[in-house]
Chain A
């Protein structure tokens, strides 16, 4: 900041705080928070008069704030500096948006890709898919009925049948299209089937073989296996590069979409965006595809649509903060239906109070072996369930002010000496932060953690007896995958729920078309990925392979296909 200090105007200070002529200082300006000086929240007003309040105890959403693109006001024609004509406009340059833009362009449409940020959001190292080329060639036979059943069961049957059935039927086709795009690209990305880990996590749910991965891509750093996010950044980079070079695609970065344009009959005919600090109007004759992601970087929206316990004690992992729910709000503004509140969050366990525990710690074998206790040294959940379930149980403890701790000993860290040593070295940082405590015995660890006398010792003894009997009488954990505590060093690592995304959104049909409250398609409007809905309820089901990114790829592809060619 040293260089910019010279440019400071002291006059501004004399004027005092509160002066703000926003647009004058922002290259790419975003709307000021529409909630300021507004007695009613924009997230409440978006429903018009058709709103009901469910009172929940106030939560604070301590996560990051991204720049909001959506504007909840009438933008007059005189404010529009430029107009453009395209067949299709795609809002968002993450995985869903890039696949949508590329599919529409490959099918001959003229496409504009509007991305609010300087880059689209990265993804992860694997994604859900059924019967793609690589899976067929590996002779993988996914049990589709079982997969569908598990998706419905995980949503507590609160979703319609069409979207998830379409995912199961069409994700392979979408994956094959994506593979073609990688073949066009420069990175040499390879898709291959994700090897199954039988019975882990052991959720009582079937183990379903329906996932692909990017790990076999040449040139990824050797240690990339534990750096999922790193892989995802590369994937997006490659697809974005292919999109930028595509003759049918114009990419506009740092260009937030702010509002949809409709004609007299409610059909979406374009989108207003902000380019170089001016409003532009993009007229579309085939459709607008909302691929703007969730809203984990919009604290006010989190508070409006989620359970307070899901975010109040969580940390955040997503470093791409364009996810402020712009697509949700633009859709609602033109009469779209949305998943009912409370919405679902994608929450993992193994979080630190800041994000996700650092790589050296993530390599712990203990990730599958630990016991989890609260500040009182007592277990409160079976530790072998899926991430979201442990996350929820951890959040429940936090509502009563109790932290959660992963208990493990030195026999559980790793059998590989190099990994073991790395983990031990990383513990120093964790200890300094007050996130990790250790002792030479359960008793010593108990004292270090300040747990009530005897509780931790008793918990460990009881756990060991469960291992011996092969039955967890308290929580029914599968003890086959547990290990008794018998090491020389005992550890407790602070364990947070960590939020990756929100996964509820606008109701769509099997073609990605956004529906209104009557279940009719809003002509010219599509949604894909985390801006879309009717797939999850309660939480993101981490135990089902890759449905989040799988859904983004599938409906990015299907939306574009339908927009350009019809059903």
Chain B
């Protein structure tokens, strides 16, 4: 987002990632997962491994009306709206709501 107060942090994070990628084959499993996801940038690629929109909606069905994969506003939507590779970059629900999946109703 243009006015993201996080931009400074993302720069920091980016430089951290660049630095850490120089650490050959870091043992950290997080980094391994990160590198596994390198180059997977489109919804079609996500679904190659993570299954269809519907399957993802079923996997998070326990979240009830807060199920981000089956929005009460209608789905299904492109993975990249919220996810960037293996990270949740944005939670669009929280842009308008207090996102509280624990509260089933």
Contacts and interface: CB of A to CB of B under 8 A. Distances in A.
16 contacts: A4-B56, A4-B59, A8-B49, A22-B47, A25-B44, A26-B47, A27-B52, A62-B1, A117-B75, A118-B75, A319-B71, A321-B77, A353-B4, A355-B95, A356-B96, A435-B5
A17 B40 contact: yes
Contacts of A35: none
Interface string A11-32: 0110011111110011110001
A121 B39 contact: no
A398 interface: yes
Contact of B51 (A7, A32, A356): A7
- Majority SS at the chain A contact face: loop
B39 A1 contact: no
Contacts of B74: 115, 117-121, 320-322
A34 interface: no
A20 B75 contact: no
B34 interface: no
A556 B42 CA distance: 35
Interface in B46-91: 47-56, 59-60, 70-78, 80-81
Interface of A: 1-4, 7-9, 12-13, 16-22, 25-28, 32, 62, 64-67, 115, 117-122, 229, 233, 254, 297, 312-313, 315, 317, 319-322, 352-356, 358, 398, 403, 433-435, 494, 496
B50 A1 contact: yes
Given A4-B59, A12-B49, A32-B44, 9 more contacts: A1-B60, A9-B49, A18-B45, A21-B48, A118-B76, A321-B81, A354-B96, A355-B96, A403-B3
Interface of B: 1-5, 36, 38-42, 44-45, 47-56, 59-60, 70-78, 80-81, 92, 94-96
Contacts of B77: 64-67, 297, 321
Nearest to A13: B36
Nearest to A7: B51
A82 B51 CA distance: 26
Given A64-B92, A356-B96, A8 B73 contact: no
**Residue picked from B41, B47, B95, most chain A C-beta under 10 Å:** B95
Contacts of B55: 4, 27
Nearest to B92: A64
A212 B38 CA distance: 52
A66 B39 CA distance: 21
A25 B95 contact: no
B70 to A, nearest CB: 7
A67 B76 contact: yes
Nearest to B52: A27
Given A17-B38, A67-B77, A321-B81, A315 B1 contact: yes
Contacts of B47: 22, 25-26
A229 B73 CA distance: 10
Given A1-B60, A66-B78, A319-B92, A119 B72 contact: yes
B3 A319 contact: no
A13 B34 CA distance: 12
Contacts of A356: 96
